[in-house]
Amino acid sequence: NIPPGPKPLPVVGNFGSLLVPPFLLKLFVRKAEEYEKQRASPLSPQVGLTDLSKVYGNVYSLFVGSQLVVVLNGYELIRDALSNHAEVFSDRPDIPLITILTKRKGIVFAPYGPIWRKQRKFCHMSLRNFGLGKLSLEPCIREGFAMVKAELLKRNQEAGGQGVDLTPLISNAVSNVISSISLGQRFHHQDEEFCTQMNLMAHGLEISMNSAALLINIFPWLYYVPCGVFKQLRQVERDITAFLKKIIARHRATLDPENPRDFIDMYLVEMLTQQKTGGSEEDGFSEDYLFYIIGDLFIAGTDTTTNSILWMVLYMCLHPDVQENVQREIDAVVGRGRLPSLTDKGTLPYTEATIMEVQRMSVVVPLAIPHMASKTTEFHGYTIPKGTVILPNLWSVHRDPTVWENPDDFNPSRFLDEQGQLLRKEYFIPFGIGRRVCMGEQLAKMELFLMFTSLMQAFTFRLPEGHQPLSMHGRFGLTLAPCRFSVCVTPR
């Protein structure tokens, strides 16, 4: 009695019809622009998957090859699964390509259990320290913004009304925040080591998400094929490993346990403490684990935050009235003489509501990260067998007309009460819910607030004459990115 769903085809299941991998599309759709169009709108899996819930109900099933996948839609159901049935639905599936690359260590793809719990608790606590304590993040985000500002002004002038692609600038500033926290190093965007590292990560992700390397998930032996993308993937993996191992070794050699400089130091100190108190290797506190956790921080913390900021700018271009309201509020509360700071959070309700509304509309991680049922269980009248992949469709929650009035309309005021104060809504869940809820939520919120308010204080954004984004459903990849767009800026 598994949940109902569309009829699967032999061998491929529902893979071809719903979940078309972009690299396959690329083979058939030659023109880049056509390809972009195809990747948007009807082929955005989050939209198709939400539409299917209208046919099969809020719990339905699909097959990817022979793998049973259950899609959960709507807030009540997702909360019931991930909070009330957390012991069953908090595991992660064993996806061959990811398992090869991560060895299921670190946090994001680690199996649910005591090692994951200990590692996550430690990392969560360490990340919190960066926001509040002596290792404050604010100067780092400010420095990132200063770089964005200078570069944006320069490129805007050079572009002469054609518009500037903000992606590399924002991505650089966001990556630098993670670099500062984890590696204790900040880089200039022209720094060769930094660029090489970032290009490596981006290249590795592009290959893993968007090339024939995806076939490793069906035929794991392909990973060892000595040519093409498979060879490239192994090379990228080797290069990233060498880079991170070098940085960890440098930290070990210069460690002062009384004065941790960054996350790596804190982790090394924790390793020493565990050794002294008799903690075993089984607890996971080892350099090997540290290596995969740093990879997780970059992968989970860079694309998500970058794309959220890009969505914010895009929505401001499309809604100049909202942009003006935000600027008016920032001018009244912060003024122009200093940069916005975290202490302004709480006094800028309209601005915060705008950030939340962009996050609601864009849902940069629309299907969360796949979960897995760790044992066979009965759920809402259906049997969910052990090993079933569970996709919590966060997009469906944010577009649910039963909890949001006119969910497809962009309207920051929905997050404000009659006095203009911020309203918290429990079905606003861009960071997920339950035990696997985003570990970087607080950090991300700080970054989004500081970057967005600083950008709004300094510039007015608009799209170049006659330009419109291809679709507002975005481009599905590791996260949901806005379709490529350029902006013209006017300094304020």
- Nearer to ligand HEM by Cβ, of 240 and 443: the residue is 443
Please tell me the distance from the alpha carbon of residue 322 to that of residue 450, in angstroms, as a whole number.
18
Q: Which is nearer to ligand HEM, 22 or 301 (CB)?
A: 301
Between 69 and 443, whose beta carbon lies closer to ligand HEM? Answer: 443
Smallest separation, CB 265 to ligand HEM (Å): 17
Minimum CB separation from ligand HEM for residue 300, in Å?
Answer: 3
| Closest distance of CB 85 from ligand HEM, Å | 13
CB of 46 to ligand HEM, least distance (A): 12
The minimum distance between CB 308 and ligand HEM, in angstroms, equals 4
Residue 91 pairs in a beta bridge with 372
Which residue's CB is nearer to ligand HEM, number 416 or number 444? Answer: 444
Q: Measured from the CB atom, is 141 or 233 closer to ligand HEM? A: 141
Report the distance separating Cα 179 and Cα 174, nearest Å: 9
How far apart (Å, rounded) are the C-alpha atoms in residues 466 and 482? 18
**Closest residue to ligand HEM, based on beta-carbon distance:** 440
Min separation Cβ 27 and ligand HEM, Å:
30
Smaller CB distance to ligand HEM: residue 91 or 329?
A: 91
Beta carbon nearer to ligand HEM, 128 or 328: 128
Residue 332 CB, nearest distance to ligand HEM (Å)?
27
Is 3 or 430 the residue whose CB approaches ligand HEM more closely?
Answer: 430
In the complex, least distance from residue 357 CB atom to ligand HEM, rounded to whole angstroms:
14
Cβ at position 293, least distance to ligand HEM in Å: 8
- Interface positions with ligand HEM (CB under 6 A): 107-108, 120, 178, 296-297, 300-301, 304-305, 308, 364-365, 368-369, 392, 430-432, 436-440, 443-444
Instruction: Give the shortest CB-128-to-ligand HEM separation in angstroms.
Output: 11
Q: CB within 8 A of 424, min separation 6: which ones?
A: none
Q: How far apart are CA 168 and CA 189, in angstroms?
A: 9
Residues 350 and 21: their CA atoms lie apart, in Å, by 39
Closer of 61 and 90 to ligand HEM (Cβ) = 90
> Residue 230 or 452: which CB sits closer to ligand HEM?
452
- Find where tokens 């169009």 sit: 37
